[in-house]
Structure 1
């Protein structure tokens, strides 16, 4: 009944990934390449979670 109140976990991860990419871009433009690579590593981990979540949902729906 209240399913529309639940936030899609994949959507939440996608928003977090986009936020991290923007932050990494800004850090890189400021010249902090070490911090940029740390943020990109974290973003890569979030992207893997997105891929796993979408693979799980596609496998379950087939």
Structure 2
């Protein structure tokens, strides 16, 4: 109950977005290779942002 008003950090938000994109990438990898490559590139950019934030 006390976690009800807890705000999510920027890293947590990016992590959720990263996981969503990676799931989408995996699904597209079997059907549409060019689209899956685009999604993977987006996920890698977000992954780099996460690493930079964790280093701070």
TM-score of the two chains, using structure 2 as the length reference: 0.85
How many pairs does the alignment contain?
A: 52
* Ranges in structure 2 where 5+ consecutive residues have no aligned partner: none
Rg larger for: 1
Determine the C-alpha separation between the residues in 1 that align with 2:7 and 2:34: 37
* Ranges in structure 1 where 5+ consecutive residues have no aligned partner: 57-62
Determine the C-alpha separation between the residues in 2 that align with 1:19 and 1:8: 17
User: How large is the Cα RMSD of the aligned pairs?
Assistant: 1.0
**How does 1:43-58 map onto structure 2 within 5 Å?**
43-56=43-56
1:4-25 Cα offsets, whole Å, 9 max, x none, are 5321110111111000000011
TM-score of the two chains, using structure 1 as the length reference: 0.77
**How does 1:1-62 map onto structure 2 within 5 Å?**
4-29=5-30, 31-56=31-56
